Structures are given as structure tokens and as C-alpha cells.
């Protein structure tokens, strides 16, 4: 099961793209599992298997938390992300029935990409299924080199934020063909010519005459490596053109995820676990130091045979003796009736109070030693972790 998360600027046509992708897959007898994560949308033109609006009421969030539109979207996603484990569980149960999971995100791109909830949702899917990011671009609005470069820089930041395979999808090719974008991404000289032409149209001459022209040229050089590892395609959500190519790239990116990204993610997870274990050990050592048991820990290397508390309590001076019943001796009373025989009193033992204090002090010292041993055993067994 492959997951496609659709991300894009407001007005780029994400929802229409989702509708066409859903229809295209259904026409090919590959019905997708559809998830809507936009809490502010009034109506979606496709049937969603999971809809955030069923769980979160956007207007109620605005009223209850006194938030604006963007703050309410972020808060709604935060509330929804607390149940993401249930969402993943529902999707996993449908693994055998669906080949694709397509996810629609809010039009306010920063509310999803740069929020903690967006990272949680993306990480949850990526840790369970091969996941691909589809970055939707409004082709007619990117015919200017500077606007195009701004979109590519945003795509680059999303790629390094999510660390997942990405496809740049130039939408609305029925209005403007995406051939110019393909040429600019593969031919640096062609992009420089476009920048020069744009400067001349705005009254500027020369390659480096303006700050913007110099910056755009520098950025284009920097992004050459980014372009070489990036897949792009042009689609029309209105006519359905280009969706076969898009699905072919999705399959390719899913294989790339299994070969490259999955191994890298597992390595990062292991590094995180090691760091967490070191942090816990440091915390335990600090606790032991605060309790004044550091010397006891050093001496534990000499004798570390105690496994249970009963083993720790046993010793030469623990005061434990065998019961009379255990050794076959019948219990006898020390006095009969009112006549007391063998009873210790202040008359026959004037040092009674002194002896009691002495034995109590010895008993207290023994209990302190036992407590220290018990705390040491607990720390060694890592019960605090």
C-alpha cells in the first residue's frame, strides 16, 4: 500500500487534483483509500474514507479557543494528531483491499508542513507505508523565473523537512504547458536566458545588474543537484492528462523509498533510541548521586550476586532465627497462672532501658544498610527506565 500526501500552495489545485486522481484510480479498478485533513473546507468533491471534519468542528475550535482561521486549522490538526494511531490502525486493516492511500492537506501549506501535528501525521504514515510527497504547483503562475525559483526553494525545504521521496506536479497544464519548467530544471543556460529576458522586460539590463537577478542565478546553480534527484510531471486536473505518468512515478518513488529512504529512516530511529538510552542512564546516575549511593555503586562490582530483596536481607546479623515449630520443639509458657517465672523486669535487670536503647540503635543501623542495598538493587535492575 503506497501513500501519497498532496501538499501545495493555496489555489494550486490540490483538491481538484485529489478528485481527478481518485476518479482515475477508480477507472483503472484501483479504488484508493481517501483521507481529508482540511478541517476548514466546506465541501469536498470526492468521497473520503476518513474525514477530519467528522472528528473536529472547525468553527467550534475558533469559538472555544478564540483563534483566527490559521490558528484554528493548526489546533484542529493538533487535536486530530492525538488520534493518529487509530487512523493508522484503520488504514492497516484495509491493506489487502487498497493499493493507494491519498491524503489531502489544508490549503494553508505552512499549517501542515511546519507544524508539529503535520510532522506527526507524516512520520506516522512514513513509518508504516511507503510514502511519497506530491508537491502541487500552479503552472500558469510560475512562468516568471523569480516565482518559479521561489516555488522550487519551497519544494527543497519541504523535501529536507520531511526526508521523503518527492514529486513536483505542475498542475493546470490545460492552461499553460509545463515544458518551460522541465527545460529550466534540466538546462541551466535556458533558465539564465529566461532571467535575462525577464530583467529586460522590467527595464533592467545585464546579467547581474539587479539584486534579484543575481540571487536567482545563484539559487539556480545551488539547486542543480536538487533537480537531479527530483522527479516532476505535468498534469491537468481538468482533462485528466498526465495522471498515468504521475502514477508510474509514484511506483518508482515507492521502490526508492524501500531501497533508500527506509534504510535511512531506520538508521535515524536507532540513533534516536541510543541517545534516549544514554539520556536515561545519565538521569539515573544523577539520581544515584543525589541519593548519596555513588559509593555503594562502586562497591557493587565486588559483590553483585543479589537478585531479589530476600537475598539482600539475609545476613549474619539480620536477627532471623528458626522458629521452635520448625526444629520440632514444643512451645512452653514461661509462666503459669499469676506466677510469672523468667520475666525480665527493672528489678532483676536494672540496665533494661540501656539495653533497649542499644538494641534499637543497632536495629535502626541495620535497616538503613538494608534500605541502601534495596535502592542499589533497584537501580541496577533499571526499574526506573
Whether residue 38 contacts residue 23, with contact meaning beta carbons closer than 8 Å, is answered with no
Answer whether residue 21 shows pLDDT above 70: yes
Q: Is the pLDDT of residue 368 over 70?
A: no
Burial class (CB in 10 A: 0-12, 13-18, 19+), 318: exposed
Whole-angstrom Cα distance, residue 7 to residue 264? 23
The stretch 352-367 carries a mean pLDDT of 67
Determine the pLDDT at residue 202.
67
Confidence of residue 169 (pLDDT cuts 50, 70, 90): very high
Place of cell 559483590: 303
Query: What is the number of other CB atoms lying within 10 angstroms of the CB of residue 155?
Result: 21
Sheet holding 50-51, edge to edge: 50-51, 33-36, 100-104, 2-8, 131-138, 166-171, 231-234
Confidence of residue 212 (pLDDT cuts 50, 70, 90): low
What was the pLDDT predicted at 160? 86
- CATH class of the domain at 2-251: alpha beta
Which segments of 206-258 does DSSP mark as H helices, in order?
Answer: 211-222, 224-228, 243-256
- pLDDT at residue 311 in the model: 47
CA angle 94, 99, 103 (to 5 degrees): 80
* pLDDT of residue 5 exceeding 50: yes
What grid cell was written down for 178?
509545463
Model confidence pLDDT, tens digit, residues 311-338: 444 444 444 445 555 455 555 544 444 4
Using pLDDT thresholds of 50, 70 and 90, give the confidence band for residue 163. confident
User: What is residue 337's predicted lDDT score, i.e. its pLDDT?
Assistant: 47
d(CA 327, CA 186): 95
Residues 145 and 207: beta-carbon distance below 8 Å: no
Identify the weakest region by mean pLDDT among 209-223, 323-337, 368-382. Answer: 323-337
Percent of all residues in the chain with a pLDDT value above 90, rounded to a whole number: 37
Looking at per-residue pLDDT, the higher value among 369 and 176 belongs to 176
**Mean pLDDT over the full length of the chain:** 80
**Residue 185 pLDDT more than 90?**
no
User: Pick the residue with more confidence: 189 or 177?
Assistant: 177
pLDDT category, 350, cuts 50, 70, 90?
A: low
Least confident of 43-47, 92-96, 220-224, 271-275: 220-224
Please report where in the chains the cell 529512516 appears, as a residue: 265
Report pLDDT digits (tens) over 83-140: 999 999 999 998 888 999 999 999 888 889 988 999 999 989 998 899 999 999 999 9
The pLDDT value recorded for residue 204 is: 53
Amino acid at each position: 500500500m503506497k501513500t501519497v500526501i498532496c501538499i501545495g500552495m493555496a489555489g494550486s489545485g490540490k483538491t481538484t487534483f485529489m478528485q481527478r486522481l481518485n476518479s482515475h484510480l477508480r477507472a483503472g479498478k484501483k479504488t484508493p483509500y481517501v483521507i481529508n485533513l482540511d478541517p476548514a473546507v466546506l465541501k469536498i468533491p470526492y468521497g473520503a474514507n476518513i474525514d477530519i471534519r467528522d472528528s473536529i468542528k472547525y468553527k467550534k475550535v475558533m469559538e472555544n479557543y478564540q483563534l483566527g482561521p490559521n490558528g484554528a486549522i493548526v489546533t484542529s490538526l493538533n487535536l486530530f494528531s492525538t488520534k493518529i494511531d487509530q487512523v493508522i490502525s484503520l488504514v492497516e486493516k484495509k491493506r489487502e483491499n487498497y493499493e493507494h492511500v491519498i491524503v489531502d492537506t489544508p490549503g494553508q501549506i505552512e499549517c501542515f508542513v511546519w507544524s508539529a501535528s503535520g510532522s506527526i501525521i507524516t512520520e506516522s504514515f512514513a513509518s508504516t507505508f511507503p510514502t511519497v510527497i506530491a508537491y502541487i504547483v500552479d503552472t500558469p503562475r510560475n512562468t516568471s523565473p523569480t516565482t518559479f525559483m521561489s516555488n522550487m526553494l519551497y519544494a527543497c525545504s519541504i523535501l529536507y523537512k520531511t526526508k521523503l521521496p518527492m514529486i513536483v506536479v505542475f498542475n493546470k497544464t490545460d492552461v499553460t504547458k509545463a515544458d518551460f519548467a522541465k527545460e529550466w530544471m534540466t538546462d541551466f543556460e535556458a533558465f539564465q536566458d529566461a532571467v535575462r529576458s525577464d530583467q529586460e522586460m522590467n527595464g533592467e539590463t545585464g546579467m547581474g545588474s539587479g539584486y534579484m537577478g543575481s540571487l536567482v542565478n545563484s539559487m539556480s546553480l545551488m539547486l542543480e543537484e536538487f533537480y537531479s534527484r527530483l522527479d516532476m510531471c505535468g498534469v491537468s486536473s481538468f482533462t485528466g492528462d498526465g495522471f498515468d505518468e504521475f502514477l508510474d512515478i509514484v511506483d518508482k518513488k515507492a521502490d526508492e523509498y524501500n531501497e533508500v529512504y527506509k534504510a535511512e529512516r531506520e538508521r535515524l530511529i536507532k540513533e534516536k533510541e541510543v541517545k534516549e538510552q544514554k539520556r536515561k542512564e545519565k538521569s539515573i546516575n544523577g539520581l544515584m548521586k543525589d541519593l548519596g549511593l555513588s559509593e555503594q555503586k562502586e562497591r557493587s562490582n565486588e559483590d553483585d550476586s543479589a537478585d531479589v530483596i530476600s537475598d539482600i536481607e539475609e545476613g549474619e546479623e539480620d536477627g532471623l532465627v528458626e522458629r521452635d515449630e520448625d526444629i520440632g520443639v514444643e512451645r512452653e509458657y514461661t509462666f503459669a497462672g499469676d506466677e510469672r517465672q523468667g520475666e525480665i523486669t527493672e528489678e532483676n535487670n536494672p540496665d533494661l532501658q540501656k539495653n533497649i536503647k542499644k538494641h534499637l540503635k543497632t536495629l535502626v543501623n541495620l535497616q538503613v544498610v538494608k534500605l541502601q542495598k534495596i535502592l542499589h538493587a533497584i537501580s541496577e535492575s533499571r526499574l526506573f527506565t
